[in-house]
Structure formats: C-alpha cells, structure tokens
Amino acid sequence: MTEGPRGRADREDQLEPDVALAVRMAVWLDDRYIDPLVGLVLPGAGDLLFAAVGMYPIFVAVRRRMPAVVVARMIRNVAIDLVFGAIPILGDVFDWIFKSHRKNALLLLERHVLGPSPWRDWIAVLGAVLVLLVALCLPIAVVVLALARFG
C-alpha cells in the first residue's frame, strides 16, 4: 500500500497526521498480513481485537465530519471482516484477501481529497447497519463456544 491508496502525487508527509496514521495502520495490518496472522493464532479474539483497532480510521472520519455514508461504508468493511474473519482458517484466508483496513484507508483518503460522497454511498448505509448487527454477534458467539469447548 506504499503507493496504492496515495499514489505518487500524494505522499504520506503531505497528509494530515491522523490520516497518515490510518494509512500506516492499514499497511501493517493488511499489507504485512498482521490481521490474518493474529486471527489464525487467536481465532475470534484476534478478529475482535483488530475490529477494535479498525475503528481508528472511522473515528478519524467522524472527527473530520466526513459524510455519514462514508462512515457507514467504513463500518460495513470492519463488520464484514469481523463476520467472515471469525470463521477459523477460512476467515483468515478471507482476511488475507478482503483487506478491510486498506479499504477504509482508501475511503478516508478519497474523501479527504474529494469531499462529499456520491449517491451510491447511501446504498451502503443500509448494508452497513445489517452487517454490523451480525458482526457484533458472530465473533462473540465463536469465542463463547470455543471457551465452552476448551474450558
């Protein structure tokens, strides 16, 4: 992601510090595969941990008063990662491919530069709410089942 979300003309040193941090986090978590590797070692718990870490770019978007649809799309990305990432082994392969942190860094960068969202973003709001509800329940259920089985 060293040039993917930014491009050559938009270097990290030209970004606001909070946006630059979100981009660096995405590089570490997705491009260097920290998220899927920790998820493999700590099924369920690793996914919850990185969903919490993945809230930082969302916090930046809210603090910068980016359109609600952008925030909803970011929440949806974290929720999708959380739901599918909680599935042992297959979820880690999904994390390897989906890269929610990268997607959110791209959204943050795009809206940081472009401003208001197009109408298609509003469609994502409905999906974000539904996926978030499922995402909040599934990993907790996986951790509880794992603890019951091994505890």
Give 137's contacts (C-beta < 8 A, 6+ positions apart).
none
Residues of the chain with pLDDT under 50: 2, 6, 8-10
Distance CA 108, CA 16 (A): 11
Residue 8 confidence (pLDDT): 37
**Sequential DSSP letters for 28-73:** IIIIT-HHHHHHHHSTTHHHHHHHHHTHHHHHHHHHTT--HHHHHH
Residue 125 CB neighbour total at 10 angstroms: 17
Residue 9 confidence (pLDDT): 41
pLDDT digits (tens, 9 = 90+) for 107-142: 998 876 666 666 666 677 667 767 777 877 887 888
Question: What are the sequence ranges of the domains in the chain?
Answer: 12-150
Is residue 23 within 8 A of residue 5, CB to CB? The reply is yes
Is residue 54 within 8 A of residue 78, CB to CB? The reply is yes
